[in-house]
Structure 1
Amino acid sequence: MTTRIAVIYYSSTGNVHRIAEAIARGAETAGAEVRLRRVTELAPANAVDSNPAWREHLDATAGIPEATLEDLQWADGYAFGTPTRFGNVAAQLKQFLDSTSGLWQAGELVDKAATGFTSSYELHGGQETTLVALYNVMHHWGSVIVPTGYADYDIMHAAGGNPYGISIRDSDEAMSKEVATAAEFHGGRLTRIAGALATVRGAAS
């Protein structure tokens, strides 16, 4: 059976979006069926319009479907992306995650693979704490967290060496190719682990 991966993210100006696309490519290369989904923008129009890059990105990605709870039921594995917000998850993604209590209570999210990715304005702008905060949700779900670790040391080191998840500083254009390579590698790894867990879930049912 084909492994199904949902890449669900929030991106204001495009950095997290580019990582999401790279993870999706890696998952597809590994044989997964992928749903790329963005969460609903919660900021008012005047806030979006105050930053031309924000408005441009929102308009450019308007054709990407918004995430639904059905995407979580459908998928065998998840990749969640968010920019850092004071070292924490952006409200837009958090609002979506907060809507999953029904699936949590029904055990729909148990034993599914999950990983995270992020970006920040500063090099030490809260990337690791954002990912750890994101994973708190997955702990409650009973999902199996798949961090980047150093599954391939050379690839991860070149991308900045974050063992918690794929991450980038917004201004690091010089590192963007290495981060994309790491994201594609991790998308493939997530797919393989999600597929193995799906087999285990099937045997247990």
Structure 2
Amino acid sequence: MNLNIVKEKINKIEDDMNVLIMKPEDFAKIKHQIMVIKILFSFGNLERCNRKKKFKGVDIKMKIAIIYHSETGNTQKVANLIAKGVEKIEGVEAKCMSIDNVDKEFIEDAKAVFFGTPTYAGSYSWQMKKWLDTCKLKLAGKVGCVFATENYLGGGADNAELALLSELLVKGMFVYSVGSSEGKPYTHFGAVCIKDGDEDQKKRVEIFAERVAKNVKKLFNE
């Protein structure tokens, strides 16, 4: 219920009490109930204040998690580029983590999660698949994005990203790639690098991540 409506209802009850005749004990009981409602109302205002990122003068940043699987280190390096791009947006905090060592609390608090994978036989890695299939974290309702590395042009990274996006849909995530909506460079499914990327590919990764962070912040009104 809208907090302004709650406040109006409280005021109406208090006005009605002033004209009603009732036993002292009933009057005290209703006053106590109104006090409880006012306390809850105050917590509602506090929550709204938190959403605006101002609580006792401390800025609370929106979180974006970056989860990756990397065997050779290439995907890890691209994950770090994703974090760099994300944090170009003011008020956003990024954190990279391997599937072998995830920060569950950070992921739970995150509004969006990037998933990074190397390309194995034209799809995403079985290690990432296993992690997602056994993951007990609640990912539903978060924005899900992907990035992939491959050893050579045409190595199947696009297909790996599509398969990974399908998994995120099953998890109940809102998948997002920016696509062609903001002009070049286009990212139809997500960012792709050959190995750890050349200079142009690295730049594309950062732009992709920055655009995602900007639009996720706008989406959640952070």
TM-score (norm 1): 0.71
The CA distance in 2 between the partners of 1:37 and 1:191, in whole Å, is 17
TM-score (norm 2): 0.66
The CA distance in 1 between the partners of 2:178 and 2:151, in whole Å, is 21
1:58 maps to none
User: How far did residue 68 of structure 1 move?
Assistant: 4.2
The unaligned stretches of length 5 or more in structure 2 are 1-52, 54-60
1:38 maps to 2:98: yes
Structure 2 matches for 1:1-205, cutoff 5 A? 1=53, 2-31=61-90, 32-40=92-100, 66-100=101-135, 102-103=136-137, 108-156=138-186, 162-170=187-195, 176-199=198-221
Asked if the contact 2:178–2:212 (Cα under 8 Å) also holds between the matched residues in 1, the reply is no
The CA distance in 2 between the partners of 1:133 and 1:74, in whole Å, is 25
The CA distance in 2 between the partners of 1:80 and 1:183, in whole Å, is 13
Give the root-mean-square deviation of aligned CA atoms.
Answer: 2.1
Q: What amino acid is aligned across from residue 83 of structure 1 in structure 2?
A: P
Asked if the contact 1:113–1:197 (Cα under 8 Å) also holds between the matched residues in 2, the reply is no
User: How far did residue 151 of structure 1 move?
Assistant: 4.0
- Provide closer, same or farther for how the CA distance between residues 194 and 188 of structure 1 changes in structure 2, counting only shifts above 3 A: same
Could you say what secondary structure the match of 1:124 adopts?
coil
Deviations 1:26-83 (A, max 9, x none): 111112111110112xxxxxxxxxxxxxxxxxxxxxxxxx114433212111111000
Asked if the contact 1:28–1:34 (Cα under 8 Å) also holds between the matched residues in 2, the reply is yes
User: How far did residue 148 of structure 1 move?
Assistant: 4.1
Give the aligned length: 162
Asked if the contact 2:66–2:115 (Cα under 8 Å) also holds between the matched residues in 1, the reply is yes
Asked if the contact 1:8–1:38 (Cα under 8 Å) also holds between the matched residues in 2, the reply is yes
The CA distance in 1 between the partners of 2:129 and 2:112, in whole Å, is 18
Could you say what secondary structure the match of 1:29 adopts?
coil
Deviations 1:166-202 (A, max 9, x none): 11222x86xx1111111111111221222233349xx
Q: Which has the higher contact order (CA 8 A, sep 6+)?
A: 1
- Between stretches 146-155 and 25-34, larger displacement belongs to 146-155
Could you say what secondary structure the match of 1:125 adopts?
coil
The CA distance in 2 between the partners of 1:195 and 1:154, in whole Å, is 21
User: How far did residue 125 of structure 1 move?
Assistant: 1.2
The CA distance in 2 between the partners of 1:97 and 1:71, in whole Å, is 17
Q: What amino acid is aligned across from residue 75 of structure 1 in structure 2?
A: A
